[in-house]
Amino acid sequence: MIQRFKQGSKETFEQVMKNYHQYAFKIAYGIIGDDRDAEEMVQEAFITVYYQIDSNGIEG
């Protein structure tokens, strides 16, 4: 999936978000304890991955 995203497939990234959003939210909520802040943390994490996937050495 990562390789397809690196090749320009935004649909693949959207699928990753759908698959992992709930899991990421549960972790963020466990750390923060607030729905709004946890949701914001998850969004920021996905945005960071979206823009940094090539520069962080993430292999696909």
In a domain, 40, yes or no: yes
Q: Look at residue 50 and tell me whether its pLDDT is greater than 90.
A: no
Within a domain: residue 3? no
Phi, psi (rounded to 5 degrees) for 22: -60, -45
Residue 1: pLDDT band (50, 70, 90) is confident
Model pTM? 0.75
Look up the domain containing 34 and give its range.
12-51
Specify if 43 maps to a domain.
yes
Domain count, the chain: 1
Instruction: Please indicate, yes or no, if residue 58 is contained in any of the structural domains.
Output: no
Highest average pLDDT, of 12-16, 33-37, 54-58, comes from: 33-37
